[in-house]
């Protein structure tokens, strides 16, 4: 197969299967009311979230379990044997432990061959980064079939007391996956992308591991260690502006109008952030699925969870254009515009 970009036999990339794997455990706003000083009304109004899923850490439910569940089902839906995978990529910022990677464990548990397997950490932007990378690896001819998972169990880094309530209400756990495969139709796959990071904003959203992680030592407190620290208002402003900027830049790169995109598959962080993008570009509600009300912010899983929900609802069709979009800690943000 000639895989030279621009050559006569260019390859395309097809999403041939997807799936979701959520933990059974639920945490509703009413549950949170019992743990901290908050209210269903406050959370709903400020974020649009009603409930979220929570992995059962006490009984050993971890990121690898969710990731394996999602990839196993995606392979089944795609009709692909685990041994046909050439590479496994996992977007996560919450591996079970620093090593081994989630990818290595999933590949073992699914019975893949001894393929390359690795994790990519770009926080909530991780999945959008990773599918862009996977597209490039397939188009280059290096690999034919790549499994891409988004999986996170961030609830273990939340403080469910008044002290941590700013972040604790937002997040949930989950995983979703896709199987990508080389296609003879070169028009299929990524047509434009953006990947951005600005470490100047590192301390706007981070998980400290020691007191030296605090620039201002007076902000250090033992209770903050290993728990999400977030400057909610600063992240909100960053998200609203970068979300709009990256949509505009991606449309310009692709030379298409906002109305030519069939689905905006967006990271679910706050329904108000999504509303601002919809208003700015005149995107109708049916083109931007919001599931944050049921799942909260699931970090790297959020974007593929939206995609798979659309697939399950029969709304994803060949020939459509879909724009994957995310922003998150780092600070990071990015897009990946695909022709299906
Ligand atoms: O993947 C990226 C992840 N992060 C984000 O995208 C987060 C973006 N930011 C946000 O979504 C919003 O900033 C939040 C939802 C986190 C917070 O909403 P906000 O409208 O920015 O609230 P705020 O932080 O300005 O707080 C307003 C008030 C404060 O009280 P006072 O000082 O006005 O009396 C807070 O102490 O709300 C209080 N508050 C709460 N009240 C009830 C903060 N957290 C809570 C809570 N329940 N959980």
Please check whether residue 106 is in contact with residue 88, taking contact to mean a CB–CB distance below 8 angstroms. yes
Query: DSSP secondary-structure letter at 79?
Result: T
- Regarding the beta carbon of 166 and ligand 1, being less than 6 Å apart is answered yes
- Given the DSSP bridges, would you call strands 189-197 and 205-206 parallel, antiparallel or unpaired? unpaired
Q: What is the pLDDT of residues 7-47, one digit of tens each?
A: 445 899 999 999 999 999 999 999 999 999 999 999 999 99
Q: Which atom of ligand 1 is nearest to the CA of 326?
A: 1
Q: Which atom of ligand 1 is nearest to the CA of 168?
A: 48
Whole-number percent of the chain with pLDDT over 90: 93
- Given the DSSP bridges, would you call strands 145-152 and 174-183 parallel, antiparallel or unpaired? antiparallel
Q: What is the pLDDT of residues 75-109, one digit of tens each?
A: 999 999 999 999 999 999 999 999 999 999 999 99
Catalytic residue list contains 9? no
- Write down the pLDDT at residue 1: 40
- Regarding the beta carbon of 42 and ligand 1, being less than 6 Å apart is answered yes
Over residues 53-60, the mean pLDDT reads 96
89 phi and psi, to 5 degrees? -120, 135
| 5 pLDDT more than 80 | no
Whole-number percent of the chain with pLDDT over 70: 97
Q: Which atom of ligand 1 is nearest to the CA of 166?
A: 44
Residue 3's pLDDT band (cuts 50, 70, 90): very low
Q: How far is the CA of 36 from the centre of ligand 1 (A)?
A: 14
What the chain holds in terms of domains, given with CATH numbers, is 1-340 (3.40.47.10)
- Write down the pLDDT at residue 67: 98
- Write down the pLDDT at residue 40: 97
Q: What is the pLDDT of residues 167-203, one digit of tens each?
A: 999 999 999 999 999 999 999 999 999 999 999 999 9
Over residues 124-138, the mean pLDDT reads 98
**Nearest CA residue ID for atom 30, ligand 1:** 166
Q: What is the pLDDT of residues 271-305, one digit of tens each?
A: 899 999 999 999 999 999 999 999 999 999 999 99
Label residue 25 exposed, middle or buried (CB < 10 Å: 0-12, 13-18, 19+): middle
* Beta carbons within 8 Å of 276's beta carbon, 6+ residues apart: 240, 243, 244
Label residue 78 exposed, middle or buried (CB < 10 Å: 0-12, 13-18, 19+): buried
- Regarding the beta carbon of 268 and ligand 1, being less than 6 Å apart is answered no
Based on C-alpha coordinates, what's the Rg of the chain?
19
- Write down the pLDDT at residue 117: 98
Q: How far apart are the first and last CA of the chain?
A: 21
Q: Has this prediction a pTM greater than 0.75?
A: yes
3-state class (DSSP) for residue 41: helix
């Amino acid at each position: 197969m000639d895989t030279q970009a621009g050559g006569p036999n260019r390859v395309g990339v097809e999403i041939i299967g997807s799936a979701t794997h959520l933990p059974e455990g639920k945490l509703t706003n009413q549950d949170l009311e019992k743990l901290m000083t908050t209210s269903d009304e406050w959370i709903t109004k400020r974020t649009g979230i009603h409930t979220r899923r929570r992995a059962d850490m006490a009984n050993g439910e971890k990121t690898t379990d969710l990731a394996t569940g999602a990839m196993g089902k995606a392979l089944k839906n795609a009709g692909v044997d685990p041994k046909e995978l050439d590479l496994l990529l996992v977007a996560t910022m919450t591996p079970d432990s620093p090593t081994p990677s989630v990818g290595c464990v999933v590949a073992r548990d699914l019975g893949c061959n001894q393929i390359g397997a690795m994790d990519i950490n770009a926080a909530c932007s991780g999945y959008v980064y990773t599918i862009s990378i996977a597209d490039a690896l397939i188009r280059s001819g290096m690999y034919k079939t790549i499994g891409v998972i988004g999986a996170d169990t961030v609830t273990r880094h939340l403080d469910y007391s008044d002290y941590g309530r700013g972040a604790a209400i937002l997040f949930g756990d989950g995983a979703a996956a896709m199987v990508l495969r080389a296609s003879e139709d070169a028009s299929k796959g990524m047509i434009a992308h953006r990947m951005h990071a600005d470490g100047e904003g590192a301390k706007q959203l981070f998980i400290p591991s020691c007191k030296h992680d605090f620039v201002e030592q007076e902000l250090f407190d033992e209770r903050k260690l290993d728990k999400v620290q977030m400057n909610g208002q600063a992240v909100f402003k960053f998200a609203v502006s970068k979300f709009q900027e990256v949509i505009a830049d991606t449309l310009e790169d692709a030379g298409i109008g906002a109305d030519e995109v069939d689905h905006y598959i967006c990271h679910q962080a706050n329904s108000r952030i999504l509303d601002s993008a919809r208003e700015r570009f005149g995107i109708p509600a049916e083109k931007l699925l919001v599931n944050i009300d049921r799942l909260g912010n699931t970090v790297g899983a959020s974007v593929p969870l939206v995609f798979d929900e659309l697939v399950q609802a029969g709304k994803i069709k060949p020939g459509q254009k879909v724009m994957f979009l995310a922003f998150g800690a780092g600070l990071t943000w990015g897009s990946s515009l695909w022709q299906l």
